[in-house]
Homo-oligomer: A and B are copies of this chain.
């Protein structure tokens, strides 16, 4: 296994970690945000553009690639990197979250989950072994254990059974992991229950993985509850392995996660909201469709160094957005991704300079994140 986390500095103000993650496709700095390329493409954006915004690791979805084009097609191309022409590191999720979020009629059994395709309603079955088998063929640098991602809230009893099953699934997946060049991460579940988060973390670590994710976040809980979910388990995770908070991309949650010791984040948020015309800026949220942008020749964000802000006005971007032009989707997505990735760059500097606590305070004040009507996401 070629993945290794080199922790270079611990912020004296917060305990947040700065480090280098060594992968088979190069080194990346953590903490980092990973753009999501669901179907082996970050929507509208080329690999060169991803490189240009300093994207690091990108994430692709096993469930979606399993359905289209099928893992054999990707394997035939020599794996995801060659298939989609991305030279940096790639992570694939396990399908566990999609089974939860896309399928209304799912039947969870010890062997695996039976559910319906979101494309044509056909019957599908995913198991820990099958998920790893698919991910082995996809060939990402980092792959994920197949877990149950329960809704929020469920009873303690339901969650206890679920956590125990997910542990058995984690062991089965690990046993079936054939390509040792790929790092395999375990996933800690347990909802908002402190005892179950502890058990899940300790037992997952006992099985032994190359990194650990905190799952069951962003499934409907409020942010304070999510922060507790991190607090309840992070101390049980080994300090020399990467820690990944799944599905989190709002900037306040990213900062709260880093302060708590998280190294990796992913979310569709920046690209999805961009496609709906909502932009992250240093002055808060900007809705590009607003009439006030019609004659506005300023970039989205004066201080932004992205391709979009260097070359296009709000006036033009509003026009493209209103006309549903693909170039608009592309330019808006580039901006939001770069905004979040630049935030990560600033966070890393703040960690190295032992001032992430001050950074957080300034940031939250600037965006009104302690107030009732914050200017952000």
Contact = CB atoms under 8 A, between A and B. Distances in A.
A311 B83 CA distance: 9
Given A76-B295, A295-B76, A297-B77, A44 B327 contact: yes
Interface stretch (A107-115, A151-159, A318-326): A318-326
Interface string A18-48: 0000000000000000000001110111110
Given A83-B316, A312-B85, A319-B68, A295 B327 contact: no
Interface string A159-173: 000000000000000
A273 interface: no
A85 B331 CA distance: 13
Nearest to A70: B294
A76 B316 contact: no
B76 A319 contact: no
Contact of A68 (B41, B69, B315, B323): B323
Given A84-B316, A316-B77, A39 B323 contact: yes
A329 interface: yes
B329 A326 contact: yes
Given A76-B297, A294-B69, A294-B73, A325 B85 contact: no
A83 B297 CA distance: 9
Q: How many copies does the complex hold?
A: 2
Nearest to A72: B295
A217 B297 CA distance: 39
A31 to B, nearest CB: 28
A322 B119 CA distance: 12
A310 B294 CA distance: 39
A330 interface: yes
Nearest to A67: B323
A325 B69 contact: no
A39 B324 CA distance: 10
A73 B45 CA distance: 27
A47 to B, nearest CB: 8
A316 B40 contact: yes
A73 B319 contact: yes
Interface residues of A, number: 35
Given A322-B68, A330-B326, A73 B43 contact: no
Contacts of A131: none
A323 B39 CA distance: 8
A336 interface: no
A313 interface: yes
A194 B46 CA distance: 51
A26 to B, nearest CB: 18
Nearest to A119: B323
Interface string A244-285: 000000000000000000000000000000000000000000
Contacts of A313: 77, 83
Contacts of A297: 76-77
Given A83-B316, A84-B316, A325 B39 contact: yes
Nearest to A311: B85
Contacts of A46: 327, 330
Contacts of A85: 311-312, 316
B325 A43 contact: yes
14 contacts: A40-B319, A41-B320, A43-B325, A43-B326, A44-B327, A68-B319, A69-B315, A69-B319, A73-B319, A77-B297, A77-B315, A77-B316, A84-B316, A330-B330
Interface of A: 39-41, 43-47, 68-69, 73, 76-77, 83-85, 294-295, 297, 311-313, 315-316, 318-320, 322-323, 325-330
